[in-house]
Structures are given as C-alpha cells and as structure tokens.
Amino acid sequence: MQALTVSEKMKTAQDFLPINGTDHIEFYVGNAKQAAHYYKTAFGFQSLAYAGPETGVRDRASYVLQQGKIRLVLTSPLHSNSAISDHIRLHGDGVKILALWVDDAYKAYEETVKRGAKPYLEPQTLTDSYGEVRKSGIYTYGETVHLFIERKDYNGLFMPGYREWKSNYNPTDTGLLYVDHCVGNVGWNRMNPTMKWYEDVMGFVNILSFDDKQINTEYSALMSKVMSNGNGYVKFPINEPAEGKKKSQIEEYLEFYEGEGVQHIAVATNDIVNTVKQLKTRGVEFLDAPPNAYYEDLPNRVGKIDEDMAPLQELGILVDCDEEGYLLQLFTKPVEDRPTLFFEIIQRKGAQSFGAGNFKALFESIEREQEKRGNL
Ligand code: FE2
C-alpha cells in the first residue's frame, strides 16, 4: 500500500473536538506595554484591544495585537503576588496560552477532561453589549495551556472585559496572515507521551515523524513528531532532545525556559521575500544564511520554483519540498534574552510538511548561535 500523504493522514483524525483555527496566543511578559511596542514596530502588528485597571481588571494589563488572522495577547502582572509573576520569574517571557477557536467551549472542556485533560479553566460565559464569548481551558505540556474560545455569538473586537485600543502609532503590517503551526519542546522521553496525549485527549493525528537519525548534525540531535487536528488548521509539532556529542538546542531551551514550553510560532505570508525584507529593515534578527552550497544544490533538491534565487539567497530564505509541493521558510533568533521562543516565517506552495530537508542547515546555524552563548 502506498504511504498516505500528509493531507490524507489529517483526514483520519477524530472529530469530537471541531477546531476552526488558532484564536489567539497569549504571552506572559515582564513589560507588556513595551513588548506591544516591539511587536508593532518590528513585526507590524496593529493595536486592537486592551484590558487593565482602566477596564476594571485589577491584577494585570493585557494588550491585544492583530495582523491578518493572527492575534497576540501580551500580559503583565501588576503585583508580585500572582501566578503570572511566578510564571515570568521561572520561565522569563514566553507563551502561556495557545487558544483554539471552537464551536462549543463547554463541550470541548467536557470531552477533553473526560479523556484525561488536566483542567485549567472551567467553562464560563463572558457577556457585554456585543454579545457573549464562552471559554474554558486545559493544560498541555509544561505550564502551557489550551484555551477553548467560542465566539459565534459575539461581534465585539476581542472579548468582554477588553476595550478598543486606539493608538496614534500605527506602523504598517509586514504581510503576516495566520498562525501556521506552534512547536513545543518537551523533556527526555516525553515526546511519545505528549503525542499520545494529543491523540487521546484532543483526537489529533500524528502526520509526520522524524527521529534522531534524520535530525542531527555533527554535534547534536533531536526527535520530532507533528500532531494535527482533522482539518489541519491547528498543527503542533513536538520536539524532544536526543543524545549527541554536545548539548542540543532543545536541551538549551529546556534549561533556560526551566521546563517544557512553546519553542516557536510559525506565521504564514504570501510573499516571504517582501515580508522578510521588511522585518529585517525593522530590526528583526534572523538566523544566518546557509552556505552558498545550499543554494547551488537547491534546484536538484526541490526542482523548479517560482521565485528568483538571488533574493532568497540574499535573505537566507530556506526552501524544501514534499510530494504535494514546496515551501519557503526562515527562522528568527530568540525574541528574548533567554534563548527560548523564536518565530518562523513560512510561505507554503502546496507543501504540507515542515522543512525536514532544511533541518541540517538550520540546526548548524542554531548551533553557531549556541556556541556564541557558550551553551553548546
Ligand atoms: Fe516550524
């Protein structure tokens, strides 16, 4: 029997938990006001909504930013005595919540908790003059949370409790469209239990697997399995370190995040050359370009592509292909001083995979950065 393509594998997922996409991603950060300025300036996100003391929230301030379908929420605590402060003290700035847009937040909670999920937020209904939002939440790896957000009866900007955030500072966007996938790093021997959790609790399916023989460099290795829901709108690759001569990037992450968590958020564009040019101009730092040999070998490896080679090489954009098409991608350096969370910019041209053909070039580039930090 012929092996299934990634698209065919997705269709084998269970559908007790219909998910329409990523609703938002919430970061816990030391200074949300300044972080919001960074994501506007550097990435071109737009001011959308705000919650804080002025809106009756006493313990935190949250800034909601939007670009395309991507919504980021940046939250800072207002006092030391709070779970948000504890989270930041331990992990530094990072992703707390991967919120999923569902048809029924009450049922999503009931079904996942019944299947073994650890509760985070019991189902609740929030109301204001724009209607109501229902939400609930469960824990996934580490201290990371999946919120289920149901907003079919809501036509406000974001959610009850938030007001419109109007700003005089509105930098143009950079062409970012939607969240393509979010990757989690887990500890030793934790990839398979995490994968099974997504299968059992969320009804997801494993669409791709890479072992340490496929993902390795001279020095370090890792393993990765990609979990997807049935329609492919939500994809969560899970990485685990593997034994190598030196410390892998996953170990470095686990050491500095002080636990499991979100490693990178991949955001999609329809024009990666233009998006990356703009991001670089605005100060976003990317991993170094691979050696010239990478681009000389590219036509053999991926065949004919629509893009000119020169700008790809100049910007260090990576290309990979699978049986359904090709993709272009590029990775930022970590966006905080701890070497933890980073972003991926991705443009898909049919390919449903994640750039396995680039892993070696990519990881060698990451290792050069690790070396500079004294963490290899
Ligand atoms: Fe990725």
Q: What is the mean pLDDT of residues 309-324?
A: 94
**Do 19-164 and 176-373 show the same overall fold?**
yes
Q: What values do phi and psi take at 37, rounded to 5?
A: -60, -40
pLDDT of residue 171: 97
Domain boundaries, the chain: 19-164, 176-373
Instruction: Express as a percent the part of the chain with pLDDT over 90.
Output: 78
Query: If you search the block for the tokens 């073994």, which residue do you land on?
Result: 116
Average pLDDT over residues 197-220: 86
User: How far does residue 41's CA lie from ligand 1's centre (Å)?
Assistant: 23
Confidence of residue 365 (pLDDT cuts 50, 70, 90): confident
Average pLDDT over residues 333-338: 97
Mention the CATH class of domain 19-164.
alpha beta
> How many CA atoms, within 13 angstroms, populate the side-chain half-sphere of residue 226?
22
β-pairing verdict for 261-269 and 235-242: unpaired
Whether 193 has a pLDDT exceeding 70, the answer reads: yes
102 Cα to the center of ligand 1, angstroms:
23
| CA–centroid distance, residue 5 to ligand 1 (Å) | 18
On whether the CB atoms of residues 23 and 136 are closer than 8 A, the answer is no
Rounded to the nearest 10 degrees, how much is the dihedral formed by the CA atoms of 185, 189, 192, 198? -50
Superfamily the domain 176-373 falls into: 2,3-Dihydroxybiphenyl 1,2-Dioxygenase, domain 1 (3.10.180.10)
Q: Which of 100, 166, 161, 163 is nearest to 135 (CA)?
A: 100
Give distance in angstroms: CA of 354 to centre of ligand 1. Answer: 6
- 96 C-alpha vs ligand 1 centroid, how far in Å? 18
CA of 78 to the centre of ligand 1 (A): 33
C-alpha dist (Å) from residue 115 to 17, 134, 372: 12, 21, 44
Nearest residue to 306 (alpha-carbon basis) of 263, 362, 348: 348
Q: What is the pLDDT of residue 234?
A: 95
pLDDT digits (tens, 9 = 90+) for 117-149: 999 999 999 999 999 999 999 999 999 999 999
Overall average pLDDT of the 210-226 stretch? 81
pLDDT of residue 17: 87
Whole-number Å distance, alpha carbon 1 to ligand 1 midpoint, is 29
**Pairwise CA distance, residues 353 & 192, whole Å:** 20
- Do the beta carbons of residue 165 and residue 50 sit within 8 Å? yes
| 267 Cα: distance to centroid of ligand 1 (angstroms) | 9
- d(CA 150, ligand 1 centre) in Å: 27
The answer to whether residues 23 and 15 touch, using CB atoms and an 8 Å cutoff, is: no
Q: Residues with Cβ < 8 Å from 358, sequence gap 6 or more?
A: 318, 319, 320, 329
Average per-residue pLDDT in the chain? 94
CB–CB of 65/44 below 8 Å? no
Report the C-alpha gap between 82 and 314 in whole angstroms.
46
Asked if residue 1 has pLDDT above 60, the reply is no
Q: Pick the closest to residue 202 from 11, 10, 8, 16 (CA basis).
A: 16
pLDDT at 356 over 90: no
For 129, other C-beta atoms within 10 Å of its C-beta total: 6
Query: Within 13 A of 221's CA, how many CA atoms are on the CB side?
Result: 14
pLDDT tens figures, 81-91: 999 999 999 99
pLDDT digits (tens, 9 = 90+) for 152-172: 999 999 999 999 999 999 999
Instruction: Find the DSSP H helices in the chain.
Output: 6-10, 32-43, 83-91, 105-114, 191-202, 249-257, 272-281, 292-302, 309-315, 359-373
By the 8 A CB rule, do 74 and 52 touch?
no
pLDDT at 215 over 80: no
The predicted structure's pLDDT at residue 2: 59
Dist. CA 114 → ligand 1 center (Å): 31
Residue 22, pLDDT > 90, answer yes
CA of 153 to the centre of ligand 1 (A): 33
**At residue 337, what is the residue type?**
D
- pLDDT number for residue 200: 96
Give bridge partners of residue 73 from the DSSP assignment: 26, 64
**DSSP H helical ranges for 145-248:** 191-202
Polymer length of the chain: 376
Residues 279-299: tens digit of each pLDDT: 999 999 999 888 888 898 889
How much distance in Å is there from the Cα of 266 to the middle of ligand 1? 6
CA of 344 to the centre of ligand 1 (A): 6
Residue 287 CA, ligand 1 centroid: distance in Å = 14
Query: Cα(253) to centroid of ligand 1, in Å?
Result: 15
Q: Tell how far the Cα of 113 is from the centroid of ligand 1, in angstroms.
A: 28
- pLDDT > 80? residue 254: yes
| Per-residue pLDDT at 203 exceeds 70 | yes
Question: Are the beta carbons of 111 and 123 closer than 8 angstroms?
Answer: no
123 Cα–ligand 1 center, Å? 31
Q: Residue 140 is encoded by which pair of tokens?
A: 């996934």
Confidence of residue 261 (pLDDT cuts 50, 70, 90): very high
Left, alpha or beta for 203 (phi > 0: left; psi -120 to 50: alpha)?
left
Ligand 1 centre to CA of 180 (Å) is 8
Residue bearing tokens 């500079």: 372
Lowest mean pLDDT among 16-25, 211-220, 248-257: 211-220
Average pLDDT over residues 338-364: 90
The answer to whether residue 7 scores a pLDDT higher than 90 is no
User: How far is the centre of ligand 1, averaged over its atoms, from the C-alpha of 261 (Å)?
Assistant: 14
The predicted pLDDT at position 198 comes to 97
Cα–Cα dist 212/87, whole Å: 31
Q: Distance (Å, rounded) from C-alpha 8 to C-alpha 13?
A: 10
Gap from CA of 16 to ligand 1 centroid (Å): 26
Q: What is the pTM of this model?
A: 0.95
Q: Output the pLDDT for position 5.
A: 84
* pLDDT reading at 361 higher than 80: no
Distance CA 70, CA 68 (A): 6
